[in-house]
Structure 1
């Protein structure tokens, strides 16, 4: 479809708010709720965390069919249905005392993640905004980037006031009364498959998303996304103990952690509104290079040094920019046709890898005895993602020149 004459602020605002609430009530609330659950039910943190990994796995399984439904014009049904399901599952979680039921709930919440997190919302915006997609997606990531800032303290207050079960019921009500309503009212109804003109090098088979599977550029982009996704999932879980082990005080480690969020938002702002200064491909190179700098610097930072804030700023900026690169570069590389399915095909291996990474980092730490091996692995993954991204650009350029 052609680009709208001006930004449809109602759609962008509604989706941005819904994604912020979805991440806050499902992704970030989990970390606060498992501690009182552990005290009351006696389940270990390992058992509780396994449910979250299960959710990431099920979200991977459903990412491609969800993308296909959105490409067919069913974005409103997918996202509204996902928010209604989220409300039902969070309410069921509030009443459960049975571990197998808890696992089933989180398997279902993985389906919810596939339906209401960034990727489906990006696909909806790509189908509606045309040439304004970059600006709309940037605005969404800026708003949703505050999910942890809003919902970690809010969930803490709710747990203190109502207990973890009562807090879950409030979070469920937010999904039903806010997210589902916003999505139902503001996302356009089914209009048939979304069609876009594709670049010349993909137009011959643009109707079949499987065409990208024969593209070297696609697989290099997947490798980049997997490596970056593993870092972005493993580091938040292990950063504080890693820094404490290296001699930083707990306060300093927490302060460094706190820098990551603002760095993400600042980088997204500069990325989205500085398109005249740097192309998406240039932004991608910068994204990978910042992570290489961050993890190349980390082992050499002495305990107590302010340079740890520089590491956090580099890492946070790279993490924030990667969200936009993942959303906006695939259409430039592979065409805008079948955006949702192609994003799902990229997300599937990324989410599987992300599900395993926190546990894998823990195993490496236990085997090595310190976090040195984890830091080295993060540097190698960051460097590997940069190499894969450069190969991706070279393969894409070669394909275009044929």
Structure 2
């Protein structure tokens, strides 16, 4: 049986203003900026990999290391970004992050050496910690406060729209590269991101109330965070979402290669991998609907366990088209549920006052694992084969499921 929730002072627990019509405008604005942000700052990179490697006279591995660096920098910056969001709100941070992200993409278009590319992606990593999901969720949670339904619907709407970022921006970027070349394509994307994200963040996101910015409020948030991180439930969340994030990132990176290794044509492999984005939306809708009837931790635990089963079955049945489709469908249902389950669990136990700080502490681990796990998986595949990689993915999913079951019980 879980213990009672940690609580902040009465003036802090709500963390924001009641649900209102403006809340829907906030969600709509963030849906646009998240879709554009993920599309430009993350997903477009895959399209630029080959032309950049050719023009910079570098290997694909050297170019890909820039994205890994960006993700690691975002993980390091997650904690200070979370503290700022809890104290000041998202307007200043997300507006500045949008400016930094747009400027970094424009600078990316001018790089002529690897060190310049890495410097640009370090800046992109900082920008990502300021403008992507963790920050957007903190804004929504602070605005809706204790309105559980409004908060859940806002996060669901945001993630459904942003879930199509790759489907929109990968082909769009490919078209821009084909027509204008990769450097001019980046100029277009950088300008577009700045023109979209900067005004939307500046105009629609509100600052935190003055009471949240006092030294007393900061002290109460610090006490709440200290109490949380000294207890077992918080670290069970860290384990669950770090293990799950690494497993999902590994499948996202290696699925096409592994399906081709199993004997499927490249077009079919890419098509099946593309289902993951669509299925992530399905999984989010299913999870949100079930949360009204069942504990969120147990719902996620079951879905993580099913992902582990899918990873184990893929080496056995994946050489057949029907088997590959079934395994991808089963794994894909859990592809996006972490992003909506973690905010629910954090707010349910700890309230909204220190949400962004606690979320940032978890992101330090989970985001870093998303960057490093695929690299380890590639090394493992080269050493002992893909079957062992799928076994490791299954083990990570199982660990995530067991951690959430334990979390539900304390």
TM-score when scaled to structure 2? Answer: 0.90
**How many pairs align?**
386
1:332 pairs with 2:352: no
**Cα deviation code 1:262-321 (max 9, x no counterpart):** 111111123234543333233222332221232132122152331212211221111211
Structure 1's 346 and 302: CA in aligned 2 closer, same or farther, altered over 3 A?
Answer: closer
Q: How does 1:100-111 map to 2 (within 5 A)?
A: 100-111=115-126
1:158 pairs with 2:173: no
Structure 2: where are the runs of 5+ without partners? 1-15, 214-219
Between stretches 1-10 and 359-368, larger displacement belongs to 1-10
Match of 1:384 in 2: 399
- 2:273–2:328 contact (8 Å) kept in structure 1: yes
Structure 1 residue 9, shift from structure 2 partner: 1.6
The match for 2:234 among 201, 213, 218 is 218
- 1:76–1:183 contact (8 Å) kept in structure 2: yes
Q: How does 1:3-402 map to 2 (within 5 A)?
A: 3-5=18-20, 8-130=23-145, 131=147, 132-192=150-210, 194=212, 207-368=223-384, 370-395=385-410
Instruction: Give secondary structure in 1 for the equivalent of 2:336.
Output: helix
C-alpha distance in structure 2 between counterparts of 1:152 and 1:46, whole Å = 20
**Cα deviation code 1:87-135 (max 9, x no counterpart):** 1111111011021121111111111110111000000110001212111
- 1:207–1:338 contact (8 Å) kept in structure 2: no
Structure 1 residue 216, shift from structure 2 partner: 0.7
**Cα deviation code 1:328-385 (max 9, x no counterpart):** 21111333220000000000011222221121111111111x2111011111111111
Instruction: Give secondary structure in 1 for the equivalent of 2:337.
Output: helix
Match of 1:201 in 2: none
C-alpha distance in structure 2 between counterparts of 1:282 and 1:206, whole Å = 29
C-alpha distance in structure 2 between counterparts of 1:321 and 1:310, whole Å = 19
Structure 1 residue 206, shift from structure 2 partner: 7.4
C-alpha distance in structure 2 between counterparts of 1:106 and 1:3, whole Å = 38
Structure 1 residue 39, shift from structure 2 partner: 1.4
Q: Please identify runs of 4+ aligned residues in structure 1 that moved more than 6 A.
A: none
- 1:29–1:151 contact (8 Å) kept in structure 2: yes
Between stretches 299-308 and 356-365, larger displacement belongs to 299-308
C-alpha distance in structure 1 between counterparts of 2:176 and 2:17, whole Å = 45
Instruction: Give secondary structure in 2 for the equivalent of 1:318.
Output: coil
Between stretches 327-336 and 219-228, larger displacement belongs to 327-336
Give the root-mean-square deviation of aligned CA atoms.
1.8
Structure 1 residue 236, shift from structure 2 partner: 1.4
Structure 1 residue 244, shift from structure 2 partner: 1.5
Match of 1:198 in 2: none
Between stretches 184-193 and 19-28, larger displacement belongs to 184-193
**Cα deviation code 1:171-212 (max 9, x no counterpart):** 1112210011111111013533659xxxxxxxx987431222
Instruction: Give secondary structure in 2 for the equivalent of 1:306.
Output: helix
Between stretches 345-354 and 333-342, larger displacement belongs to 333-342
- 1:135–1:273 contact (8 Å) kept in structure 2: no
C-alpha distance in structure 1 between counterparts of 2:247 and 2:22, whole Å = 34
Structure 1 residue 51, shift from structure 2 partner: 1.1
